[in-house]
Amino acid sequence: MKKYDLIVIGGGPAGYAGALKAAQYGKKIALFEKEKIGGVCLNVGCIPTKALSSKAGLLENIRTQTQKEVLRDAGLFSYKKIQKQKNEVVNRLTRGVDSLLKAAGVDVFLKEAEIISPNEIKAGSEVYSTEYILIATGSSNLLNLSFDNKNLSYDSTGLLNIDRVPSRMVIIGAGVIGLEMASIFNSFGTKITIVELLPEILPDFDSDVTKAYQRQLEKRGIEFQLGSLVKSIDSIQENKKRIIFTDKDGQEQNIITDIVLCSIGRKPNVDKANAEKLNLKIDEKGFIVVNNMMQTNLPNIFAAGDITGAPLLAHVAIKEAEVAVKNMFSDKKNHRSTNLVPSCIYSYPALAKIGLTAKQAKEKNLEILEGVYNYIGNGMALALEETTGFAKIIVSKKDKKIVGGQILGEQSVELIMQLAVVIANEMTVDQWDEKIMVAHPTLSEILHEAIMDSDNKSIHTPLSKKS
């Protein structure tokens, strides 16, 4: 029987990050993955989506310049070649992770593994023993939905691999995945309708931000049916689908479409953990319960990533895995923090947030100041011709500490990380003013002006708007 210091089950972001972190402690590690190294994120999630999104954004820019007659006869594209490049990006990254694991001395087994005891796993006919187990089996798209008993809808994995651009698509669910797919395929020329049960999109953001975001998507031709309940999906002639739903006024509506994307949530991949047999604690939704050290109720079994039910994001998964491994092999105990999780939507325009929203601050009875600055007032935004959007900063009124921010607009998903550093170090508006010099011209100046606006000190905000 082969013996390891750590066996990792799952080769996605949490799994491979955990294995690589353990290798830094000189440990003997095995990683089991039943499909492909890289998991959902690298193979059928974050990376291929962003590869498509980059081309969608390029097309939007080309169309804008064509309308202004800067470019002529531009904007035709080959979806087949876009898909080919997407696959090349995915393959390059997965090969890179394979190489890192090999260089770190991790034994990688492309097999399905099952936990049979707190110190043993079984893969095929082989049994492997270990001091610790890290469960990083991730999550899957919700399937077998009541309104789609004939399985006529696509999930995001299937949609990423279609070989043609549909002329019409209905997306069920206005979450991050649904909105990103809507933006991408809208840029490719697909007519998009989003059907969402809730009365507004993205409830974790402030409503003034999401309303501005929705307006921009609507300007591009994306239609929203909010407060609507899907009843059924049927197949009709010529490979068309008919989706029937009840709208916000209680009226039954139907849309004929080429493709239906169902993007309403994910479920944990907990089957092979043998939770009941091992007495491994799971919650009512099937996610593994862990403490803030990523430890389950069985002391030598840890879990990280989507399987724990924390925000289902690759960067959360990586961080959780690192915390778990540090707590296995380091004398200094580490704790998971969910206070500073960046949330990013890679659409056109992009949207991002970190820290507290105004809504969350109010729920905590925290008195706040708000600072806002629009892209259109920024020199670099004007030079890039990306003037849509704004930054909104949340500041504690009591001590003027910067506690949160939301950014709608070009490169918002990159700019938001500046706020992560600011908030993590509990920086105040005055400290920012005294210590930070922002390069000019940059989009970062938008953040600077928004921060200063929270204290009525933005020199590029008209005085008449401060009173």
3-state secondary structure of 298: coil
Spatial distance between the Cα atoms of 135 and 139, rounded to a whole number of angstroms: 12
> Residue 392: helix, strand or coil by DSSP?
strand
Query: Using H for helix, E for strand and C for coil, what is the string for 299-312?
Result: CCEEECCHHHCCCC
Residue 448 makes CB contacts below 8 A (sequence gap 6+) with 432, 436, 438
Between CA 288 and CA 273 the distance in angstroms is 9
b/e code 379-399 from CB counts within 10 Å (16+ = b): ebbeeeebebbbbbbbbbeee
**Digits of tens for pLDDT over the chain (467 positions)?**
899 999 999 999 999 999 999 999 999 999 999 999 999 999 999 999 999 999 999 999 998 899 898 988 777 899 999 999 999 999 999 999 999 999 999 999 999 999 999 999 999 999 999 999 999 999 999 876 788 877 889 999 999 999 999 999 999 999 999 999 999 999 999 999 999 999 999 999 999 999 999 999 999 999 999 999 999 999 997 789 999 999 999 999 999 999 999 999 899 999 878 888 899 999 999 999 999 999 999 999 999 999 999 899 999 999 999 999 999 999 888 898 877 999 999 999 999 999 999 999 999 999 999 999 999 999 999 999 999 999 999 999 999 999 999 999 999 999 999 999 999 999 999 999 999 999 999 999 999 999 999 999 999 988 755 54
Q: Which residue's entry shows tokens 């056109």?
A: 348
Residue 167 neighbours by CB under 8 Å, 6+ apart: 189, 190, 191, 258
Instruction: Confirm if 242 and 214 have CB atoms less than 8 A apart.
Output: no
Phi-psi category of 120—alpha, beta or left, where left has phi over 0 and alpha has psi -120 to 50?
A: beta
Nearest to 372 by CA among 467, 464, 456: 456
Side chain identity, residue 63: R
**Contact by Cβ (8 Å): 390, 373:** yes
Which domains are assigned to the chain? 2-141+267-329 (3.50.50.60), 146-264 (3.50.50.60), 349-457 (3.30.390.30)
Q: Rounded to an integer, what distance in angstroms lies between the CA atom of residue 151 and that of residue 158?
A: 12
Is 448 a catalytic site residue? no
Q: Which of 315, 440, 448, 460 is catalytic?
A: 440
Q: Name the residue among 86, 85, 64 with its Cα closest to residue 74.
A: 64
What pTM, to 2 d.p., does this model score? 0.94
Residues 199, 205, 208, 211: is their CA dihedral positive or negative? negative
For 130, the token pair is 């270990």
Specify whether the CB–CB gap between 154 and 259 falls below 8 A.
yes
Structure tokens at 141: 């798209």
